[in-house]
């Protein structure tokens, strides 16, 4: 008899997006002719930068000729892309990261999901609440938790992100070994200051802990005082791994390219205290389970880091940031306390009522779809997330509809 992995049975069903679709479908059936505006999704809406499209075409042309054809590439990514990333994303900002510390992949989702494989099952894991669900669910799948009781898995150290701490978690009161941090944050849109991030790096150094830093939204940071990489913080190279993605920067959500930085100075320890290089372990993992990102996609990612590509990415990001500013200003004018929407594409709105109650109100009275905060964790109850990934005229119309709906 084939037996199931019982850890999978502990997972709460991914109720959030299916429940949203269900409620939207039943509203549409009841009110045909009311066009719905979706501000719930974290997917981009603008096309790829021209520089990336041109690079894709050129690379496809190379695959068509025997002389320039490419088969399997290096599992870690082509040198041309790893070099461009090290130079443009790190060295240009004074962060010491070398090309061979960059592992190119097809998504920050799979990298943030897979990285925990390198660690023992008896480590103590700290996960923010609310959170991008991948970090939590993959630790459940791996067997690092007990059952979910009242929306919380046994064995996880939850880092509560609340209005009181500005949605930036304080240091844990109990010792933890692995910490997930994400800034700019999904779902709260919060950013972290250099000082607060430095405190986390100090904590990790003092406790021989490791920080998994998800910087998928770093390109939205416009405030020059905010860190865009954890490697801008002194001492982080020994205690942090960083995840980045071209998804929300150059619009690669469907094209798929991301990368993970694993410094050669990072180690995990065995029972006798002997250290093991995380770089070597991740390399072993990737070369065993992954066969690289396609050549044309890596050429397109390289183009996103060229002068022309960077200018186009900046204008894509400007567009979404303008949407975000509009949402934030309109919701604030209606009396809602908001976080994010500056240096971030997400606006976290204090609904003043239950998450789902507010979701239903916006859907039924305004035909606008947001994401209920409760779907991201216990501390998300009472909030909704509004995404800036949409066309400006739709965002504008959504805000007008919400204004009218709440005025009556």
Binding of ligand PLP at residue 108 (CB under 6 A)? yes
The conformation of residue 49, written as its DSSP 8-state character, comes to: P
- Burial string for 333-364 (b: 16+ CB within 10 Å, else e) reads eeebebbbbbbbbbbbbbbeebbbebbebbbe
Identify whether the C-beta of residue 204 lies closer than 8 Å to the C-beta of residue 211. Answer: yes
Work out how close the CB of 73 gets to ligand PLP at its nearest, in angstroms, rounded to a whole number.
19
Segment interacting with ligand PLP (CB under 6 A) among 103-111, 197-205, 325-333, 356-364: 103-111
CA distance 345 to 358: 20
CA distance 192 to 367: 34
Identify whether the C-beta of residue 359 lies closer than 8 Å to the C-beta of residue 384. Answer: yes
Work out how close the CB of 291 gets to ligand PLP at its nearest, in angstroms, rounded to a whole number.
17
Q: Name the closest residue to ligand PLP (Cβ).
A: 107
User: What are the Cα distances from residue 3, in Å, to 6, 137, 140?
Assistant: 8, 20, 18
With residues binned 3-state (H G I as helix, E B as strand, rest as coil), the percentages for the chain, rounded to 5, are 45, 15, 40
- Of residues 20 through 79, those in contact with ligand PLP by CB under 6 A are 42
Q: Which CB, 267 or 376, lies closer to ligand PLP?
A: 376
Among 107, 263, 309, 345, contact with ligand PLP (rule: CB under 6 A)? 107
Q: Which CB, 17 or 69, lies closer to ligand PLP?
A: 17
Q: Which CB, 249 or 267, lies closer to ligand PLP?
A: 249
Work out how close the CB of 269 gets to ligand PLP at its nearest, in angstroms, rounded to a whole number.
27
Identify whether the C-beta of residue 243 lies closer than 8 Å to the C-beta of residue 104. Answer: no
Q: Which CB, 116 or 186, lies closer to ligand PLP?
A: 186
- Of residues 220 through 259, those in contact with ligand PLP by CB under 6 A are 245, 247, 253, 258
Identify whether the C-beta of residue 148 lies closer than 8 Å to the C-beta of residue 10. Answer: yes
Among 103, 132, 158, 267, contact with ligand PLP (rule: CB under 6 A)? 132
Q: Which CB, 132 or 356, lies closer to ligand PLP?
A: 132
Work out how close the CB of 326 gets to ligand PLP at its nearest, in angstroms, rounded to a whole number.
21
Segment interacting with ligand PLP (CB under 6 A) among 95-103, 108-116, 166-174, 361-369: 108-116
- Of residues 178 through 217, those in contact with ligand PLP by CB under 6 A are 182, 186, 214, 216
For strands 346-350 and 338-340, give the pairing: antiparallel
User: What are the Cα distances from residue 364, in Å, to 15, 38, 352, 355?
Assistant: 20, 13, 17, 14
- Of residues 287 through 346, those in contact with ligand PLP by CB under 6 A are none
Site for ligand PLP (CB under 6 A): how many residues? 14
CA distance 178 to 119: 9
Q: Where on the chain is the footprint of ligand PLP (CB under 6 A)?
A: 42, 107-109, 112, 132, 182, 186, 214, 216, 245, 247, 253, 258
């Amino acid at each position: 008899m084939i037996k199931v992995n019982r850890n999978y049975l502990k997972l709460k069903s991914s109720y959030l997006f299916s429940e949203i679709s269900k409620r939207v479908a039943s509203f549409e059936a009841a009110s045909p002719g009311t066009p719905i505006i979706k501000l719930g999704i974290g997917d981009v809406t603008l096309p790829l930068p021209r520089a990336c499209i041109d690079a894709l075409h050129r690379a496809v042309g190379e695959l068509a000729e025997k002389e320039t054809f490419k088969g399997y590439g290096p599992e870690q990514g082509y040198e041309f892309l790893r070099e461009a990333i090290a130079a443009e994303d790190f060295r240009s900002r004074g962060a010491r990261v070398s090309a061979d510390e960059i592992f190119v992949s097809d998504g920050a989702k799979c990298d943030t999901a897979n990285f925990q494989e390198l660690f023992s099952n008896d480590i103590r894991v700290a996960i923010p609440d609310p959170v991008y669900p991948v970090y939590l669910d993959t630790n459940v799948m791996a067997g690092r938790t007990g059952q979910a009781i009242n929306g919380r898995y046994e064995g996880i150290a939850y880092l509560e992100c609340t209005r009181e701490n500005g949605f930036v978690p304080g240091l844990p009161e109990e010792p933890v070994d692995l910490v997930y941090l994400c800034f700019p944050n999904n779902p709260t849109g919060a950013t972290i200051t250099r000082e607060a991030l430095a405190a986390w790096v100090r904590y990790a150094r003092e406790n021989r802990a490791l920080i998994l830093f998800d910087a998928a939204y770093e390109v939205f940071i416009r405030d020059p005082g905010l860190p865009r990489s954890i490697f801008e913080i002194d001492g982080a190279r020994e205690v942090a791994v960083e995840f980045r993605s071209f998804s929300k920067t150059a619009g690669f959500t469907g094209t798929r390219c991301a990368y993970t930085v694993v410094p050669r100075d990072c180690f995990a320890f065995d029972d006798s205290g002997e250290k093991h290089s995380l770089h070597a372990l991740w390399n072993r993992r990737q070369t065993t389970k992954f066969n690289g990102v396609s050549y044309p996609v890596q050429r397109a990612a390289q183009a996103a880091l060229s002068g022309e590509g960077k200018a186009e990415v900046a204008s894509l990001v400007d567009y979404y940031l303008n949407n975000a500013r509009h949402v934030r200003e309109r919701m604030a004018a209606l009396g809602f306390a908001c976080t994010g929407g500056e240096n971030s594409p997400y606006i976290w709105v204090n609904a003043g009522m239950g998450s789902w109650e507010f979701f239903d109100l916006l859907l039924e009275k305004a035909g606008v779809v947001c994401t209920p905060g409760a779907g991201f964790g216990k501390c998300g109850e009472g909030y909704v997330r509004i995404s800036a990934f949409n066309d400006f005229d739709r965002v504008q119309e959504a805000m007008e509809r919400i204004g009218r709906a709440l005025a009556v």
